[in-house]
């Protein structure tokens, strides 16, 4: 049994006791080092700061067991002086060994293959030899961004050849020698990308993933495949672990940029395979954390800080991690079941999911997760600079098992880590930490851990967190801010003896919605982070969500109208973008930003048609030529043609550093792109500057005033840390929902709830329900959107997919034939259906109802 929770007074005393303990100095790691050990360096493999005696020629890392040698990579001797390894040389030697009579037994086979085994041991036993091997043509004198000059295909073919040999000894010897060579590393090897060719090669071993796909049963039974054997798996795991550790040390250095430029040259299939391999490694270690979370005995030891002591022995690390579930099954009466990555399981799914959440103390000091996520970050960087057509979607980087992490605690821990440098001078716990502790939202150990500055949190690497996880963090932060505002309003009302509303009340007229909305926002700056309640003046209706949806819809339509002068539709791309024409009233830009912020905080999907550049602006990302090409594709193509012109052709165009444009009424405006630009001609020498200045004018410089007011309005609502976790593509999904073609009616049908029938079986088999689903199946994409608009108030499905749309079908009039129209309650995503005598009558009534969707009242 776990330790009982202390009562409230004692818990506060415990908290004060923890914060009164002697604290480690934050000033320097040298403070805890003895006088005889004055040298401090990071391990080249895992990044642990290690102290050792001055004058030592090497030291061993206590965390990953790597030996760090105080030599430069170039000083490594090619001993013995083997020539570079190649597929041709390995295949020729293998063919030579297997030539002649077939071996009669395993001993004869080993004798025949001994020359190959000796060669592989010598060749792969030196990272210097591996580093000089599998080159494309002549070796390069220095590393280059354009190419790694490595023949990755030949390297993969070499290991595939070894895996097909009739004996496992050659492959085993090559892997053993590789493992030995990468456990002895020069200290500062990651500073020069040329020293990392061997690591780029080793991650290409085609069966590394086999080590991470262990079944629940111990694989000691005979396997027909060499790569499935336990000893091969163990070696592959250790090689992958060390390669990821070494590559992670380049994350924020120039070498990391070189690696990203090399990885982006991979074709899409290989690129995704590498991402999946790293995510599989992360899952392998998170799976261990899951089992700890669901085992009471291990969870108690973990809370006392003993969890990671079991990983101090490195020899059997892989076996212990692989068979952890078997060990728990043997020691627990109710062993934890492995979730099949489902985030919901019926009515009680929420409680079960919460019970399975992985707590932060299980992984914050796990260097395996830290190194793997850092390497995945290099692939994120590579994906960012790939061509648009070759980029992989952001969801490829998501790790499904991270959904089983208590991501809200992780978010709080990440925030505490960010704030640690600011409050390092004081040892007093924050008020929020004390409140959370008293409420039982955190433990003593958790609070102590959050003060550490070297812990790992998934929010540091948001590309691992699914969109659903990020939305839950955003809602968590928004709910805290809304609750805080509501509490402040309540306390203020008690103090001043006046009524204070806990909601942000929006009262508008339909015909004057822009001005009324702007006035409401301007007069309620202190209430914007409260929940929204909307009322259309002179109309009946209580806002339970539907009025709010319609307000957002009507307001955005009015804002995007050409009459406001804020936006215009670009004919080449059909995107809406800011007008470069000066506006007399920038308040509409402020209102536009505020509306987007309110939509995010109130989980409302909007009907927007903006380029990705808009969402990059919201996140503070820079925009340039790529965004100009997205918004103005035809103009960009013509502009970029200037790069191909000769000097005479360019002079004939008579271009200057000046731009002209027209407003909706045909009035022409002219602006200089640089000082005195109208008198500066465009030449071959300065044409690149002209292209850059011209593009920036339309996406940045020329709309600076509008963008600043737009961001000011948005920041007045969204100013939290949760928003920074999103990528532009995710913000677009969050605001606009998914607009990918037809609705998957079968999936929507499977998640729909029914009321008004005796049982769900009766509902599913009823005529009117089947008519509804048949109608939706036959409908075109546009008709499906109108139906969705009618029922939910938006024609987009949620960002996380149609399976997360909560649709309710409600039957009225007890099965009697009716002449009434179906009714939608957009507040609850509910459709009221009546019984009809024929399918034709249902279709007529339903179509009529969908076309009369606007407005609230009794009809």
Residue 131 φ/ψ, nearest 5 degrees: -65, -30
Short-list 748, 761, 760, 756, CA closest to 801: 748
Cα-flanking dihedrals φ and ψ of residue 429, to 5°?
-70, 150
Using an 8 Å Cβ cutoff, are 807 and 745 in contact?
no
Cα–Cα dist 688/701, whole Å: 17
Which residues are within 8 A (CB) of 815 and not within 5 positions of it... i.e. 6 or more apart?
Answer: 835
Pairing of strands 67-69, 184-186: parallel
Catalytic residue among 61, 459, 589, 827: 827
Cα 795 to Cα 606: distance, rounded to the nearest angstrom = 9
**Residue 587 three-state SS:** helix
- In 164-255, at which residue ranges do the beta strands (DSSP E only) sit? 184-186
Burial of 400 (0-12, 13-18, 19+ CB in 10 A): middle
Question: The tokens of 89 are what?
Answer: 């040389």
Compute the distance between CA of residue 258 and CA of residue 271 in angstroms, rounded to an integer: 16
CA 105 – CA 688 distance, rounded (Å):
71
Considering only CA atoms, which of 324, 364, 308 is closest in space to residue 62? 308
* 827 given a catalytic annotation: yes
Going 853 to 854 to 857 to 859, the CA torsion angle's sign is negative
Two structure tokens written together for 617: 């602006």
Query: Could you give the dihedral angle defined by the CA atoms of residues 785, 789, 791 and 792, in that order, rounded to the nearest 10 degrees?
Result: 110
Helix (H) or strand (E) holding 29: none
Q: What is the DSSP string of 531-563?
A: EEEEEETT-----SSHHHHHHHHHHHHHHTSGG
Q: How would DSSP label each residue in 251-298?
A: TTSHHHHHHHHHHTTS-HHHHHHHHHHHHHHHHHHHHHHHHHHT-HHH
* Residues identified as active-site: 827
């Amino acid at each position: 049994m776990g330790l009982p929770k202390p009562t409230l007074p004692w818990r506060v005393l415990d908290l004060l006791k923890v914060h009164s303990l002697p604290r480690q100095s934050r000033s320097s790691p040298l403070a805890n080092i003895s006088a005889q050990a004055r040298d401090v360096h990071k391990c080249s493999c895992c990044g642990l700061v290690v102290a050792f005696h001055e004058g030592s020629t090497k030291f061993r890392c206590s965390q990953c067991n790597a030996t760090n040698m105080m030599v430069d990579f170039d000083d490594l001797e090619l001993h013995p002086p083997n020539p570079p390894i190649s597929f041709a040389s390995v295949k020729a030697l293998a063919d030579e060994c297997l030539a002649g009579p077939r071996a009669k037994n395993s001993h004869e086979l080993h004798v025949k293959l001994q020359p190959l085994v000796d060669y592989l041991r010598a060749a792969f036993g030196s990272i210097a030899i591996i580093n000089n091997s599998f080159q494309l043509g002549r070796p390069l004198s220095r590393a280059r961004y354009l190419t790694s000059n490595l023949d990755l295909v030949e390297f993969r073919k070499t290991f595939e050849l070894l895996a097909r040999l009739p004996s496992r000894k050659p492959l085993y010897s090559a892997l053993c020698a590789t493992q030995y060579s990468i456990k002895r590393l020069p200290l500062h090897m990651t500073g020069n990308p040329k020293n990392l060719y061997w690591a780029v090669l080793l991650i290409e071993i085609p069966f590394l993933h086999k080590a991470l796909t262990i079944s629940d049963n111990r694989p000691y039974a005979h396997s027909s495949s060499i790569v499935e054997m336990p000893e091969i798996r163990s070696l592959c795991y250790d090689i992958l672990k060390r390669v990821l550790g070494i590559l992670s040390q380049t994350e924020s250095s120039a070498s990391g940029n070189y690696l990203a430029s090399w990885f982006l040259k991979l074709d899409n299939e290989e690129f995704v395979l590498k991402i999946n391999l790293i995510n599989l490694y992360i899952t392998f270690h998170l799976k261990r954390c899951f089992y700890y979370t669901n085992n009471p005995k291990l969870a108690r030891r973990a809370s006392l800080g003993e969890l990671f002591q079991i990983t101090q022995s490195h020899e059997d690390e892989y076996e212990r991690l692989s068979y952890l579930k078997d060990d728990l099954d043997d020691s627990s009466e109710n062993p934890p079941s492995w979730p099949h990555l489902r985030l919901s399981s019926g009515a009680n799914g929420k409680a079960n999911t919460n019970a399975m959440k992985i707590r932060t103390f299980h992984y914050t000091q796990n260097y395996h997760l830290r190194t793997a996520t850092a390497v995945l970050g290099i692939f994120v960087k590579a994906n960012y600079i790939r061509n648009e057509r070759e980029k992989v979607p952001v969801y490829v980087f998501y790790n499904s098992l991270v959904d089983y992490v208590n991501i809200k605690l992780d978010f709080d821990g990440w925030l505490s880590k960010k704030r640690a440098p600011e409050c390092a001078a004081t040892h007093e716990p924050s008020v929020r930490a004390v409140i959370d502790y008293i409420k039982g939202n955190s433990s003593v150990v958790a609070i102590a851990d959050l003060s550490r500055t070297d812990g790992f949190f998934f929010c540091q690497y948001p590309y691992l967190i699914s969109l659903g996880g990020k939305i839950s963090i955003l809602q968590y932060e928004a709910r805290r801010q809304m609750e805080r505002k509501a509490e402040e309003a309540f306390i203020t009302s008690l103090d001043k003896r006046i009524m204070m509303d806990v909601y942000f009340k929006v009262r508008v007229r339909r015909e004057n919605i822009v001005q009324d909305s702007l006035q409401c926002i301007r007069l309620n700056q202190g209430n914007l982070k409260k929940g929204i309640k909307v009322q259309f003046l002179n109309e009946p209706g209580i806002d339970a969500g539907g009025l709010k949806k319609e307000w957002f819809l009507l307001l955005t339509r009015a804002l995007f109208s050409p009459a406001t002068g804020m936006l215009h539709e670009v004919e080449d791309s059909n995107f809406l973008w800011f007008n470069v024409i000066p506006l007399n009233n920038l308040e509409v830009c402020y209102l536009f930003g505020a509306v987007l912020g309110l939509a995010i905080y109130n989980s409302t999907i909007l009907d927007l048609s903006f380029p990705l550049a808009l969402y990059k602006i919201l996140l503070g990302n820079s925009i340039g030529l790529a965004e100009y090409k997205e918004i103005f594709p035809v103009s960009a193509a013509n502009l970029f043609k200037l790069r191909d012109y000769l000097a005479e052709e360019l002079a004939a165009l008579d271009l200057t550093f000046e731009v002209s444009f027209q407003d909706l009424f045909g009035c022409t405006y002219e602006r200089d792109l640089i000082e005195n630009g109208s008198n500066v001609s465009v030449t071959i020498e300065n044409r690149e500057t002209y292209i850059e200045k011209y593009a920036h004018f339309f996406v940045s410089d020329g709309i600076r005033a509008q963008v600043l007011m737009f961001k000011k309005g948005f920041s007045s609502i969204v100013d939290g840390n949760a928003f920074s976790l999103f990528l532009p593509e995710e913000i677009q999904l969050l605001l606009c929902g998914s607009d990918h073609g037809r609705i998957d009616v079968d999936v929507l049908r499977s998640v729909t709830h029914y009321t008004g029938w005796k049982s769900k079986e009766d509902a599913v088999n009823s005529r009117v329900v089947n008519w509804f689903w048949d109608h939706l199946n036959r409908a075109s994409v546009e008709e499906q959107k109108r139906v969705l608009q009618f029922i939910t108030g938006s024609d987009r499905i949620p960002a996380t997919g149609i399976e997360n749309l909560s649709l309710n079908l409600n039957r009225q009039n007890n099965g009697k034939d009716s002449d009434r129209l179906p009714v939608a309650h957009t507040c609850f995503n509910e459709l009221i259906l009546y019984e009809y005598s024929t399918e034709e009558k249902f279709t007529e009534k339903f179509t009529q109802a969908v076309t009369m969707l606007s407005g609230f009242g009794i009809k």
